[in-house]
Amino acid sequence: MEIRFAGVTKQFPPDIVAIQDIFLTISKGEFVYLVGPTGSGKTTILRTVTRELLPTKGQVTVGDVNIRKMSSYDLAYLRRDIGVVFQDFRLLPSLTVYENIAFVQEDIGVPPADVKKRTNDVLDRLGLWRRRFLYPEQISGGEQQRAAIGRAIANSPSVLLADEPTGNLDIHTAEEIMQLLLSINASGTTVVVATHNQHIVDAYKQRVVELRKGRIVRDEKKGRYEVDGDL
């Protein structure tokens, strides 16, 4: 699924311009980092892709559909085909790791036998098999992040959006998460990662889209976190 922003501005009342005049095309199968200082508009971009937010101006197209003109059927389909990993995980505290990953599948009507198989596959792939019957509060931050990624990929989405997936993790765990995201990308999923993690961006070179005050100031293939001399 291609994601396309054509002249997109999002203004919050009364006059906070979160993103401004964004032109951006992310092709199917790409891996993109969204970088930029706090408040520069990274999360806002992700939230317009899922149609949590509608642009004030301009068009966002996901696949063939303009999100502004989406029917409720299209929207349900879109949300099923986009996996989202939030910075604060948002795992359900009263469900085990297994149940957190299974329920998003049950929610869209995957048959029970398939839910079991897929959940077990995801748990295995994420290295969470031995943690599957524990609750979020009983596992580490890195494990919670992996469980959140597991939940996001359980329905095999075309697109994975990850907001600060390595926030609050040590370098080693952040690298593990990054390798997981790269392997998900290698299997064909488009991956967009909003991040402040300079080490990760510089170590695993991918396309870098840099935002400043809501505008794109750089879009570079195999970029670094900061351009040289910009320190």
Ligand X SMILES: Nc1ncnc2c1ncn2[C@@H]1O[C@H](COP(=O)(O)OP(=O)(O)OP(=O)(O)O)[C@@H](O)[C@H]1O
Q: Please identify which residue in 1, 5, 35, 42 interacts with ligand X, judged by CB under 6 A.
A: 42
- In whole angstroms, give the CA distance from residue 105 to residue 216: 36
**With respect to Mg ion, which residue has the nearer C-beta, 20 or 43?**
43
Does residue 189 touch Mg ion according to CB under 5 A? Answer: no
Applying CB under 6 A, the span of 42-50, 73-81, 106-114, 130-138 interacting with ligand X comes to 42-50
Does residue 192 touch ligand X according to CB under 6 A? Answer: no
- In whole angstroms, give the CA distance from residue 185 to residue 128: 20
Does residue 177 touch ligand X according to CB under 6 A? Answer: no
Q: Please identify which residue in 43, 145, 166, 197 interacts with Mg ion, judged by CB under 5 A.
A: 43
- In whole angstroms, give the CA distance from residue 30 to residue 186: 9
How many angstroms separate the Cα of 105 from the Cα of each of 100, 109, 122, 177?
10, 6, 12, 22
Does residue 18 touch ligand X according to CB under 6 A? Answer: yes
Query: Are the CB atoms for 223 and 208 separated by under 8 Å?
Result: yes
Residue nearest to Mg ion (CB): 43
| Geometric angle at alpha carbon 130, from 127 and 133, rounded to 5° | 120
Does residue 197 touch Mg ion according to CB under 5 A? Answer: no
Beta bridge partners of 192: 32, 161
Contacts of residue 156, Cβ cutoff 8 Å, sequence gap at least 6:
none
Sign of CA dihedral 138, 84, 109, 111: negative
Which DSSP category does 153 fall into? Answer: H
41 binds, among ligand X, Mg ion, none (CB under 5 to 8 A by kind): ligand X
Applying CB under 6 A, the span of 11-19, 123-131, 140-148, 199-207 interacting with ligand X comes to 11-19
Does residue 20 touch ligand X according to CB under 6 A? Answer: no
Applying CB under 6 A, the span of 36-44, 76-84, 114-122, 177-185 interacting with ligand X comes to 36-44
CB of 42 to Mg ion, least distance (A): 5
Query: Are the CB atoms for 90 and 145 separated by under 8 Å?
Result: no
29 binds, among ligand X, Mg ion, none (CB under 5 to 8 A by kind): none
- Which residues would be at the binding site for ligand X (CB under 6 A)? 12, 16, 18, 36, 38-44
Binding site for Mg ion (CB under 5 A): 42-43
